[in-house]
Amino acid sequence: MLNEEKQNYINEETQSDIKQLFSHADIANREMSVIKIDIADIKTDLSWLKRFFWIVLSASVGTLITGVLSLIFK
């Protein structure tokens, strides 16, 4: 009888430990999915590159037009 009670106690403790581990794993999984989404947003956020492209393009076109006009009016 004593061994059976001890075994039941060990089984209950093991089950509570397993439930706690699954709970921690679930929390970690949810947190990691949020981090993955944030990293994906950072990797795909290329608006700064588009803005830089348009700044360089407009400066180059402006310089080209100024150069052509200065050659025409000389």
Q: pLDDT tens digit string along 48-73? A: 788 899 999 999 999 999 999 999 98
29-67 burial, b if ≥16 CB within 10 A, otherwise e?
Answer: eeeeeeeeeeeeeeeeeeeeeeeeeeeeeeeeeeeeeee
The residues near 31 (Cβ < 8 Å, ≥ 6 apart) are: none
**Structural domain that includes position 16:** 2-72
Q: Could you report the per-residue pLDDT of 4-54, keeping only the tens digit for each?
A: 777 777 788 888 888 888 888 888 888 787 777 767 666 666 777 888 999
Q: Which helix (H) or strand (E) holds 25?
A: helix 2-44
First and final C-alpha spacing in the chain: 112
How many folded domains does the chain comprise? 1
